[in-house]
Amino acid sequence: MTIAKYAFVFRIASRDQVIYLPAFLGRNIFFIVVIYIFYALWGAVYGDANVMVGFTMTQTLWYLTFTEAIEFAQSRIFTDISEEVKDGTIAYQLCRPYSYIGYWVTRAMGENIVKLVPLLLEGFILASLMVGVLPGYLAALPIGLLTIIGGVLVGTLMKVVIGLLAFWFEEVMPFWWILQKLVFVIGGLFIPIDFYPDWLQGIAKATPFAFVAYWPASTFVAFSWDRATTTLIGLSAYTVLFAALAALIFRAAVRKLHVQGG
């Protein structure tokens, strides 16, 4: 019954997102512009070089289509959670027969998956036209898709944590700005971490931000079973970590709500 509840939430969220999909696709013009800018920029960086730090120009552009798809696909659920905290709606949600965190994660993933599919298709078309089909694409596809969905899930759990901080902070948007910039830089959203100095690579690759963007994308474009195993283990570990952190914060928040609200 518990699984059925969350499956129902996932299905409803997916269906609702499909209704608004045309509007989302219209906004994806920015995604196309970003990929073209990356193509021009990295074309200038590579110049006549075929390979840099183990990545070809083809791999780099495909890598960026995957990281951008992960970023664009994620709903800003922290704003919905923080609004429920601010206006008191959360008090009614606590009485319902499901996990509050489970509900929001399932709902967000239902929306995110619907957004992710067209982004990956657009990225496939754009990258194929600009630099050609990624070598080994079909072989890496099953594990690659799994790791990309895992990256979206870890990013979603981070946003749930940010939303729950509304119990202590009136405005949570600055926390999201910080998270976003960390994913941009340390997570390898704009540039593969392999291009960083060795000392920074070691730090960046171990962070949760890298498992949102770098590891899923690099697993797809430079597939190996060792890399895939590292990615899946890291994604699993950070999924458990952020789910536990969200649960701890929520438990403390509910106690705070009971003390202040009776």
Tens digit of each residue's pLDDT (9 = 90 or more) over 154-211 = 999 999 999 999 888 878 999 999 999 999 999 999 999 999 999 999 999 999 999 9
Alpha carbons 211 and 148: distance in angstroms, whole number: 9
How far is Cα of residue 156 from the mean position of the Cα atoms in its chain?
6
Residue 78 CB: number of other CB atoms within 10 A?
A: 25
Alpha carbons 232 and 105: distance in angstroms, whole number: 19
Alpha carbons 192 and 64: distance in angstroms, whole number: 8
Report yes or no on whether pTM surpasses 0.75: yes
Does the pLDDT at position 103 exceed 80?
A: yes
CA angle 165, 166, 170 (to 5 degrees): 125
List Cβ<8 Å contacts ≥24 apart for 254-262: 254/94, 256/167, 256/168, 257/90, 257/91, 257/94, 257/167, 261/91
The pLDDT of residue 48 = 84
Does the pLDDT at position 259 exceed 70?
A: no
Task: Give the residue numbers spanning the domain of 122.
Answer: 2-261
Tens digit of each residue's pLDDT (9 = 90 or more) over 40-79 = 999 999 988 889 988 999 999 999 999 999 999 999 899 9
Does the pLDDT at position 260 exceed 50?
A: no
Alpha carbons 212 and 204: distance in angstroms, whole number: 12
Pair of tokens at residue 114: 């619907």
CB contact at 8 A, 148 and 231:
no
Per the model's pLDDT, the better-predicted residue between 88 and 259 turns out to be 88
User: What is the radius of gyration, based on Cα positions, of the chain?
Assistant: 19
**Which residue matches tokens 């499909």?**
18
- Work out how many domains the chain is built from and give that number: 1
